[in-house]
Amino acid sequence: MQIGSQARSKLIDRLSAPTGISASMAALVVSGDPPPTVLSQNVAADLVDKTTSVQYPAVSVYCEKISNDLTEKFRSFSGTVQLAIEVRQSQDRLDGIEDALEQYADAVTQTLTASRGDWGDGMFFAGAYQVSFGAVKKGGKNFTQTAKITFEVGVSRS
């Protein structure tokens, strides 16, 4: 569906902008890691590690759910698009992996907070989001951990 890919594209533009996630991460000192590349994919971390060369931290953006609630009469689409951002951190030691991941998740949420409001094309982000942290697992550069940020974008289209 085009609405999901358009919302995802608008999110990637905001995260990749000079004032986006790179600017928020530049203020953080996280073990000298380069700023992440923002990718548009919903792929399990272990599969990505096995099939491609991954540079950590890694950021993946994807659409989880589209809901046409028809809250506005006579609109072809009036509802929400649920987007997800997964931040994956990997390193060779357990010490500090959780702290580094939390700092990267903070950089993403700072960018989201700065992106509140009208996204154009009938899309609006109110500012609410949820962050969940996964357990440390084997993978990547020996150990990997994932933070998932989910939120909804309101959409109203004729």
Tens-level pLDDT at each residue, the chain (158 residues):
589 999 999 999 998 888 788 777 766 545 565 667 777 777 766 666 666 777 888 889 999 999 999 989 889 999 999 999 999 998 888 899 999 899 999 999 999 999 999 999 999 999 999 999 999 998 877 899 999 999 999 999 98
What pLDDT is recorded for position 56? 84
What pLDDT is recorded for position 101? 92
What pLDDT is recorded for position 140? 74
Q: Token match 């951190």: residue?
A: 89
4: enclosing H helix or E strand: helix 2-16
Residue 135 burial (CB count, 10 A): 7
What pLDDT is recorded for position 113? 94
Helices 97-114 and 2-16 sit at what angle, rounded to 10 degrees? 110
Of 32, 30, 90, the closest CA to residue 59 belongs to 90
Provide the token pair at 103: 């700092």
Strand partners, 90: 144
The Cα–Cα gap between 148 and 45 comes to 12
Q: Could you tell me how far CA 22 lies from the centroid of its own chain?
A: 13
- Name the architecture of domain 2-157: 2-Layer Sandwich (3.30)
Residue 58: Cβ-neighbour burial (10 angstroms; 0-12, 13-18, 19+): buried
Is this prediction's pTM over 0.75?
yes
* 123-125 and 117-120 strand pairing: antiparallel
